[in-house]
Amino acid sequence: MNEPRLRVSEIRTQGRGPYSLTVAAGECVSLRGPSGSGKSLLLRAIADLDPHEGEAYLDGQPCSQMPAPQWRRKVALLPVESQWWLDTVGEHFPPAPCPWLAPLGFSEAALGWQVGRLSSGEKQRLALARALMNRPRALLLDEPTASLDEASIAALEAVVADYRESEQAAVLWVSHSREQAARVAARHFQLQADGLQEGSP
């Protein structure tokens, strides 16, 4: 049996867990649970942003054996509120054409925009484009469409699906919407305080 692209083994964070799951190359797995149940904490632990016990593996390589910046480029977290630390959008992107701008509803001119003028939804879509520029092998998406209208939701879902299939990326998608989970993911987990339960969306 092939090693899963992303494997989470017995991760505990802030008194919750242990959490274990696998996501195969090219697969999207949904994660749902009540507000405050720890979904974001789990994603942050997998991304090695918070202290935790247990281990995450990418293509069999443990997170603990990889420099943190390298891990976070390969296992990209898109948080609910993306971080922007420079004045213009383009300063956050590498000096190369970004093929995801147009599919997400932007022209190249968006790279010249001031970050301060961006809406929450624009930040979310541009943060996805920025993350994809690193060609991550796994995507951790924390309610990535929470601030979007229906057209933008459809566009973002399509971009993630295309990237997942073309790059054979593993996608772990936190969504508050049962309908969205059913659309985007093949397997579904409910997060509980002491573990994950696989089931229906």
- 151 within a domain of the structure (yes/no): yes
Question: Mean pLDDT score of the chain, rounded to an integer?
Answer: 95
- 127 within a domain of the structure (yes/no): no
Position 1 scores a pLDDT of 53
pLDDT, tens only, 57-108? 999 999 999 999 999 999 999 999 999 999 999 999 999 999 999 999 999 9
- 99 within a domain of the structure (yes/no): no
- 171 within a domain of the structure (yes/no): yes
| Tokens (6 digits) for 33 | 């649970």
pLDDT, tens only, 3-30? 899 999 999 999 999 999 999 999 999 9
Q: Which domain holds residue 24?
A: 6-83+136-199
Domain count, the chain: 1
- 180 within a domain of the structure (yes/no): yes
Query: Residue 68: which of 53, 48, 50 has the closest Cα?
Result: 48
Angstrom distance (rounded) from CA 20 to CA 143: 20
CA–CA distances in Å: residue 180 to residues 29, 32, 186: 12, 11, 11
- 73 within a domain of the structure (yes/no): yes
Using DSSP's 3-state secondary structure scheme, residue 83 falls into coil
- 156 within a domain of the structure (yes/no): yes
CATH number of the structural domain spanning residue 167 = 3.40.50.300
Q: What is the pTM of this model?
A: 0.96
